[in-house]
Amino acid sequence: MLDNHELKSLGIGSALVLVNIALMLVFARTFLVDVFNYVWGLGAIVGIIVYAVPLIAGSWLGRKGIEENNLGLAGIGISLLMLAYGSFGGGIIAQIGDFGTQVVVLAVTALITTAITTLAGLYVYWTDRNLSKTGHYSNIAFLGVFVTGFIGTFVLPLLLLTFILALAGFLLYLVYEVWRMKTEAVSPELTGLGLYIAYAGVFIHVLQIVARHYIEE
């Protein structure tokens, strides 16, 4: 059975994820889709940087605000995260077309991502291993994203490796955050934020795969 700390962490993370998915539907009907297409049209490394900056800044500000009990700072951080994830997801589903199909694509993506998260949770809770280093490994994967993304801007086939590294980075980070929830290493508010960041990161990568399938159909 999950204790109060874990239930609160999951509740916070789930609420943030649901809001962000809803924002993807909203942002898919705004100028943010044009921004999405423009920055990625300039090259992969440009798109990576443009979306990585608010994610990194939002994560840092969100955590800082929670640690210092500064709701304003935490709100700014979470807003940046919502904007980055929401506009990225919105840009992807805007390529699909009608609202109904977009909802279906998001729902399928959520089911797949939740299944992945459940498997990650089962692994963490069934093992006694110290998984603290998975956070470090995720950072290495993200550094690889920038390196391969830069080279891949000029050598397009390498962008597949960039995608794999990004997905692996978020998966490792997801395992790390579930481990922190299990060990109650930090407050449920911080854990909930971390779970949201990791889940949403996996979500937008699964979304790209699901959306491509529907487009090709």
Instruction: Please tell me the predicted confidence (pLDDT) of residue 4.
Output: 87
User: For the segment 15-28, what is each residue's pLDDT rounded down to a tens digit?
Assistant: 999 999 999 999 99
Can you give 165-196 as a three-state secondary structure string?
HHHHHHHHHHHHHHHHHHHCCCCHHHHHHHHH
What's the gap between Cα 123 and its chain centre?
Answer: 20
Spatial contact of 194 and 17, defined as CB atoms under 8 Å apart: no
Report phi then psi at 69, rounded to 5: 55, 35
Closest CA to 49 of 184, 160, 142, 124: 142
Q: Which pLDDT value is given to residue 100? A: 93
Two tokens at 114? 């939740």
Q: Is 154 exposed, middle or buried (0-12, 13-18, 19+ CB in 10 A)?
A: exposed
Residue of 34, 28, 22 lying closest to 90 (CA atoms): 28
Token readout for 107 is: 């729902």
Q: Calculate the average pLDDT of the chain.
A: 95
Cα 118 to the center of its chain, rounded Å:
16
Q: CA 66 to CA 138: how far, in whole Å?
A: 22
pLDDT in tens, the chain (217 residues): 678 888 999 999 999 999 999 999 999 999 999 999 999 999 999 999 999 999 999 999 999 999 999 999 999 999 999 999 999 999 999 999 789 999 999 999 999 999 999 999 999 999 888 999 999 999 999 999 999 999 999 999 999 999 999 999 999 999 999 999 998 878 999 999 999 999 999 999 999 999 999 887 7
Backbone φ, ψ for residue 155 (5° rounding): -125, 85
pTM of the model: 0.95
* Region label for 65, one of left (φ > 0), alpha (ψ between -120 and 50) or beta (otherwise): alpha
Sign of torsion, CA 37 38 39 40? positive
Calpha distance 112→106 (Å, rounded): 10
Q: Counting Cβ atoms within 10 Å, is residue 123 exposed (0-12), middle (13-18) or buried (19+)?
A: middle
Which pLDDT value is given to residue 1?
65
- pLDDT tens digits for range 16-69: 999 999 999 999 999 999 999 999 999 999 999 999 999 999 999 999 999 999
